[in-house]
Amino acid sequence: MTSKEKQTLRRQVAKLLVIRASGHNLDSLREYPQWELPNYQLQKLLEDGVGGVILHGGTFDEIQHRCAQLKSWSSQPIFLCADVEEGVGQRFQGGSWLPPPMALGMAYQKDSEEALKLAEEYGVSIGREARQCGLNWVLAPVCDVNTNPLNPVINMRSWSESPNAVKELTSAFLRGLTNQGVLGCAKHFPGHGDTSVDSHLELPVLNNDLPQLKDRELIPFKALIKDNVSSVMSAHLFLKKIDPIYPVTFSKKVLTHLLREEIGFQGLIITDALVMQAITKNYKSINSSSMAFEAGADLILMPEDAHEAIDSIVDLLISGRVSIRRLEESLERRNKALKHLDNSTDSIARKSHNPYDQASQEKEISCLSRKLIDISLECRNNIDISRFSRLINLIRVDDFHANSIVNRSSPALNIPHELGCINFITHSLGVSPWQNNSDEPLALDRFGDGSFLLQLFVRGNPFKGDAALREPWIQAVKQLQQNKRLAALIVYGSSYFWNELSAILEPSIPAAFCPAQMPLAQKKILEILFGSSIESEEFLSQSQFEFIN
């Protein structure tokens, strides 16, 4: 092969890569510089043929400019995608942020017909905002059936514990999403819902065999494939009864024999991010991209080193271990997906007669969020604030930064503060609230006298593992009840965690649960619990609070 032929081959292979970039235009604002290349390197890779970018961070307006900039750096159509499973606002400030999919699953149990309508609206709202800010590919829906309540990473990202409910809801979501002219992605094949390990941190090992997968995990994926979903994402799992040698992302038995040949999927197979520790702890980066391609993946998401990834796949092709025809098939699938985007955009443009009305759209999405919150929240009893001489508002979050669900403008802080509560925030980077006493784990002397309003933000989150589940909140609730110091309990997030806590909660204690964690859910719950204690005006003052964990 001549040097010119090899250079042509490199450009073809580069089209298979989807690399990470910050949504901020300035390098100095990158939130994850270990994964997000500086602009000069990003521009060079796009000029050299890299075929896609996954974005994170920035504002809704910034991402519009960023997408236009990235497209201008490339001489070809590229994929511009993001993990916006719960709305564009999940990753980009100013976008809409919806309750998690499990809220739809809870609604499905009560009224399946209404839940399916809401799931389609959910897809419409995400697809429309994604398209408006320049994205053309939404890495959703999550098709995992969350059969393990202790799942540390899927959890509320799943639509249900029922395969049929996940199938119906994700199909409705996909219908709404793709009607807005963006691509969808069924993930994480062949199912990440039965794991007890976060694949961002470790490689989960499962004993599930193929009959088990067919009876449960594969049901939603098969339905979405029938609905012509454009892409399927592999899970970083080790299914030792199906492939005793390789994890799913590197398994030809799973990606080619099962997904491509047996199930008959003809769209794009994309890996989950190769920077996840399920992969990096067990495989060298120089090998991971070529192993995934050899197994049957068409697109390589977030390789540790883009140049290494291209080189390794080129070497694989030159060696003859994988045929050039196999590369051509992946590129044909890529071109087909991009062509579908062009046709969808043209169709939407022809149908659209009204200019973009931001205020109207925000009102519509807010209405959807309120519906989902109302359907899924649980509340019992009211807080009589006059009973307490000193009320401590103790908030538990995973971390605390500018884009967090809890910040200086959050109702979880400001409403209790306006009512005279003393705010404390416990999070992973601060001083621990715990003491070395398994029966009474909460160090009450650090808070002073008073009763506690506990607001616990707990749900499966990538890279957090089971940290929240290892914290002794169940025993802490028992401790506060025994000491007559629990005024109220609120859980935002995991319904599984709420079920555990509510089972040991005294019936007279005011309590509430909502799968949503955003300010709208906080405000709704606190207004219900505090009832007449809250006046009609908005709580906009800046809260005073202390960090303890």
Burial track 120-144 (b if 16+ CB lie within 10 A, e otherwise): bbbbbbbbbbbbbbbbbbbbbbbbb
Give the span between the Cα atoms of 544 and 459, in whole angstroms: 26
Question: Given this model, what pLDDT does residue 223 score?
Answer: 98
Question: At 466, which helix (H) or strand (E)?
Answer: none
- How many CA atoms lie within 13 Å of 87's alpha carbon, on the beta-carbon side? 23
Strand partners, 392: 422, 452
Question: Given this model, what pLDDT does residue 496 score?
Answer: 93
Question: Given this model, what pLDDT does residue 464 score?
Answer: 62
User: What amino acid occupies position 37?
Assistant: L
pLDDT band at 356 (very low <50, low <70, confident <90, very high): low
Give the span between the Cα atoms of 437 and 443, in whole angstroms: 9
Per DSSP, helices labelled H in 179-209 are none
pLDDT digits (tens, 9 = 90+) for 74-89: 999 999 999 999 999 9
Segment 279-304 shows an average pLDDT of 97
Give the span between the Cα atoms of 236 and 248, in whole angstroms: 6
User: Is 396 strand, coil or helix?
Assistant: strand
pTM of the entire predicted model: 0.92
pLDDT digits (tens, 9 = 90+) for 305-323: 999 999 999 999 999 999 9
**Is residue 272 flagged as an active site residue?**
yes
User: Is 150 strand, coil or helix?
Assistant: coil
What secondary structure does DSSP assign to 397-423, as a single string? -S--STTSSSSTT-HHHHHHHHTTPEE
* Fold annotation for 16-358: TIM Barrel (3.20.20)
Question: Given this model, what pLDDT does residue 409 score?
Answer: 87
Per the document, the length of the chain is: 549
Strand partners, 395: 425, 455
Segment 7-23 shows an average pLDDT of 97
pLDDT band at 362 (very low <50, low <70, confident <90, very high): confident
Burial track 94-107 (b if 16+ CB lie within 10 A, e otherwise): bbbbbbbbbbbbbb
User: Is 442 strand, coil or helix?
Assistant: strand
The overall longest dimension of the chain from CA atoms, in Å, is 84
pLDDT digits (tens, 9 = 90+) for 116-135: 999 999 999 999 999 999 99
Question: Given this model, what pLDDT does residue 466 score?
Answer: 63
Number of neighbours of residue 334 by Cβ within 10 angstroms: 19
**Is residue 83 flagged as an active site residue?**
no
Question: Given this model, what pLDDT does residue 123 score?
Answer: 98
Segment 252-269 shows an average pLDDT of 98
Distances in Å between the Cα of 178 and the Cα atoms of 84, 198, 278, 344, 507 are 14, 29, 31, 8, 46
Segment 379-391 shows an average pLDDT of 93
Catalytic residue, chosen from 272, 298, 417, 427, is: 272
Segment 158-178 shows an average pLDDT of 98
Question: Given this model, what pLDDT does residue 532 score?
Answer: 65
Catalytic residue, chosen from 24, 200, 236, 417, is: 200
Give the span between the Cα atoms of 270 and 16, in whole angstroms: 9
Give the span between the Cα atoms of 32 and 24, in whole angstroms: 11
User: Is 43 strand, coil or helix?
Assistant: helix
What secondary structure does DSSP assign to 85-122, as a single string? TT-GGGTSBTS--PPPHHHHHHHHHH-HHHHHHHHHHH
pLDDT band at 543 (very low <50, low <70, confident <90, very high): very low
Per domain, the residue ranges of the chain are 16-358, 377-547
The structure tokens 């990606």 sit at: 255
> Do 92 and 59 contact (CB within 8 A), yes or no?
yes
CA 295-300-306 angle, 5° bins: 125
Question: Given this model, what pLDDT does residue 133 score?
Answer: 95
> Do 138 and 81 contact (CB within 8 A), yes or no?
yes
Structure-model confidence comparison of residues 267 and 459, the more confident one = 267
Per DSSP, helices labelled H in 194-323 are 210-215, 218-226, 252, 277-280, 285-295, 306-319
Could you tell me which CATH number the domain at 377-547 has? 3.40.50.10870
> Do 170 and 115 contact (CB within 8 A), yes or no?
no
Question: Given this model, what pLDDT does residue 541 score?
Answer: 41
> Do 23 and 64 contact (CB within 8 A), yes or no?
no
Question: Given this model, what pLDDT does residue 468 score?
Answer: 66
> Do 170 and 185 contact (CB within 8 A), yes or no?
no
